[in-house]
Amino acid sequence: MEEEKTNTIKENPIELAQQAWTHLELVRKKSPLIQCITNFVSMDLMANTLLSAGASPAMIHSVDEIPEFTPKALGVCINAGTLTPDWLPGMKLAAQVANQSKKPWVLDPVAAGGSSFRLKACLELLALRPSVVRGNGSEILALFKGSVDSNSKGVDSVYGSSDAVEAAKSLAQQSGSIVAVSGAVDFITDGDKVVCVHNGVPMLQKITASGCSVTALISAFVAVDPSHPVEATASALAIFGVSSEIGMDMARGPASLRTHLIDSLYGLDEATALARVRISRF
């Protein structure tokens, strides 16, 4: 998949589902090392999501080891969830080292519109050109507008993902990054074309760090196919969504969904993936 470099995004839903399975197979085969600089809430679920997909997570954030460690990673995930000023230099350094090492990195601008400090930090990180930025509707709208949201509910979105599609397109054009806005339908755009992912269950909103974890999964998928970030991002969102759908059939609530989601991602097979992945062009 790395050899094939085209700018055309597949149109056929069957091919897009096949591509999502191929991306998961590639993650399982390559087991990419993914460095995560993430919030305290998400560390456990994020690491377990990456492990169950076949990747190798490392939650390493000290500025003292980033110059030596980050080049070893195949991809980096940077998440603003429990941001404090002392963490920001490490995030910026990891982004710069990833760029120098030609490794993709992915930004999760958690609660970007929640405060001026957070918004400024997320915009500074975005200026360092992540391959992909993945947020919910509120977060993508805040980055696009460049202003805090007086209606912000912190890490939760007060907008649907479809409310942020045009903002996502403009933000992708302005920033040069692929923008993914998650929700009932996930939208992924390079500023021109938009791809939609229709997988997932509403109860994911009741599991804290499900968004953070899918961003880490995007980091792993983009790490194994860095020349196709739109496709790899859609594949990660679809595979995570399918795993939640299968998990939901066994779950009794958010706590057991969390467990069954991880088990379903670990055990996902080709026939189930091809039957359930729903990716289309907007």
What is the contact surface with Mg ion in residues (CB under 5 A)? 110, 211
Residue 219 in contact with ligand ADP, rule: CB under 6 A: no
**SS3 for 145?**
helix
**SS3 for 78?**
strand
Specify whether the backbone of 27 is left (phi greater than 0), alpha (psi in -120 to 50) or beta: alpha
Number of residues that bind ligand TZP (CB under 6 A): 12
Task: Write down the least CB distance from residue 97 to ligand TZP, Å.
Answer: 24
Residue 81 in contact with ligand TZP, rule: CB under 6 A: yes
Q: Please return the burial class of 31, using the count of CB atoms within 10 Å of its CB with bins 0-12, 13-18 and 19+.
A: middle
Q: Which amino acid is at 241?
A: G
Q: Give the whole-angstrom CA distance, residue 11 versus residue 254.
A: 34
**Interface with ligand ADP (CB under 6 A), residue from 182, 189, 219, 264:** 182
Residue 142 in contact with ligand TZP, rule: CB under 6 A: no
Residue 247 in contact with ligand ADP, rule: CB under 6 A: no
Q: Count of H helices and E strands in the chain?
A: 11, 9
Q: Which does 157 bind (CB under 5 to 8 A by kind): ligand TZP, Mg ion, ligand ADP, none?
A: ligand ADP
By beta-carbon proximity to ligand TZP, the closer residue of 210 and 264 is 210
Residue 82 in contact with ligand TZP, rule: CB under 6 A: yes
Q: Give the whole-angstrom CA distance, residue 38 versus residue 52.
A: 18
Q: Give the whole-angstrom CA distance, residue 60 versus residue 66.
A: 8
**Interface with ligand ADP (CB under 6 A), residue from 39, 52, 157, 177:** 157
Residue 63 in contact with ligand TZP, rule: CB under 6 A: no
Instruction: Collect all residues with Cβ–Cβ distance below 8 Å to 36 and sequence separation of at least 6.
Output: 43, 46, 47, 50, 57, 58, 59, 60, 76, 77, 79, 216, 219
Residue 37 in contact with ligand TZP, rule: CB under 6 A: no
Piece of the chain touching ligand ADP by CB under 6 A; list 65-73, 93-101, 176-184, 264-272: 176-184
Q: Which amino acid is at 128?
A: L
Task: Write down the least CB distance from residue 180 to Mg ion, Å.
Answer: 12
**SS3 for 219?**
helix
Angle 160-176-5 from CA coordinates, rounded to 5°: 105
Residue 204 in contact with ligand ADP, rule: CB under 6 A: yes
Interface residue list for ligand ADP (CB under 6 A): 136, 156-157, 182-184, 186, 200-202, 204-205, 210-211, 214, 237, 240-241
Interface residue list for ligand TZP (CB under 6 A): 39, 41-42, 81-82, 110, 155, 208-212
